């Protein structure tokens, strides 16, 4: 059994024993859900970047990736791929939402916009390899908000950002934390 499966099984057993669980238990479940959602998102993102964008644009030089992908008849950028998915999810459900943010955004709309987003992204940048979890109240709703490091997993990641005219940072290297995936789940009660 994977550690995720074990955690969920433990969470389910524990929840059953405490009759729907304490708030600490509930938080654990939010974290498990967010972790699993993130696992799918980050796997898809890495596959798209490595097997499509990096292979075809950096290694083989067959086709470019461009933010103006329609006009340029190019590949959709990894960040756009991610956002289009997030937008489709937002049309379907209010049960969670997600986005890709950074302290050094090319697109200023991807800068942190809540206090917790600022704290979470700074934590990811200062503690490579670690996630960050918190709660925040926005518009009268309390959210469980999870932050996961977005890492430069391919040459294409750092080189494109370093060379982009709107990038406030130009020294990204392979393996660097370039930003964070933020997953927000409204907490009930
Ligand atoms: C071909 C260029 C290109 C490649 C390759 C690329 N990016 Fe980006 N990235 C961009 C652009 C342009 C944006 C802004 C897109 C938008 O939101 O409109 C962006 C957005 C982002 C953001 C959100 C913050 C921001 O800068 O706006 C993060 C984080 C990010 N990219 C990380 C990565 C990582 C990690 C990879 C590799 C997995 C990657 N990028 C690959 C060009 C690129």
Per the CB < 8 A criterion, the answer to whether 79 and 160 are in contact is no
Contact 156/58 with Cβ under 8 angstroms?
A: yes
> What are 42-51's pLDDT values in tens digits?
999 999 999 9
pLDDT for 107 equals 96
Mean pLDDT, the chain, rounded, equals 90
- Nearest protein Cα to ligand 1, atom 11: 106
Q: How far is the CA of 60 from the centre of ligand 1 (A)?
A: 20
Ligand 1 centroid to Cα of residue 4, in Å, is 29
pLDDT exceeding 90 applies to what percent of the chain? 81
Residue 7 has what pLDDT? 55
Instruction: Give me the pLDDT at residue 12, please.
Output: 47
> For residue 61, how far is the Cα from the chain centroid?
28
Q: In this structure, are residues 114 and 134 in contact, taking their beta carbons and an 8 Å threshold?
A: no
CA distances in angstroms from 144 to 126, 135, 153, listed in the order given: 21, 5, 27
Alpha carbon 74 to its chain centroid, in Å, reads 24
Taking residues 167-182, report their average pLDDT: 97
What pLDDT is stored for residue 127 in this prediction? 97
pLDDT tens digit string along 101-158? 999 999 999 999 999 999 999 999 999 999 999 999 999 999 999 999 999 988 889 9
18 vs 172: which has the higher pLDDT: 172
Q: Whose CA is nearest to atom 33 of ligand 1?
A: 157
15-29, 52-66, 146-160: the lowest-pLDDT one: 15-29
């Amino acid at each position: 059994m994977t550690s995720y499966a074990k955690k969920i099984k433990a969470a389910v057993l524990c929840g059953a024993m405490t009759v729907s669980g304490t708030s600490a238990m509930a938080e654990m479940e939010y974290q498990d859900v967010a972790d699993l959602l993130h696992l799918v998102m980050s796997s898809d993102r890495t596959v798209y970047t490595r097997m499509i964008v990096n292979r075809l644009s950096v290694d083989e030089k067959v086709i470019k990736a461009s933010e103006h992908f329609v006009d340029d008849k190019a590949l959709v950028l990894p960040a756009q791929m991610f956002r289009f998915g997030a937008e489709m999810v937002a049309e379907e459900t209010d049960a969670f939402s997600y986005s890709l943010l950074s302290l050094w955004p090319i697109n200023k709309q991807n800068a942190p916009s809540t206090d917790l987003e600022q704290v979470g992204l700074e934590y990811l940048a200062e503690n490579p390899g670690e996630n960050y979890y918190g709660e925040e109240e926005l518009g009268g709703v309390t959210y469980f908000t999870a932050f996961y490091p977005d890492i430069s997993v391919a040459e294409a990641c750092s080189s494109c950002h370093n060379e982009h005219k709107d990038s406030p940072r130009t020294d990204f290297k392979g393996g660097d934390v370039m930003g964070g995936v933020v997953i927000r789940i409204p907490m009930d009660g």
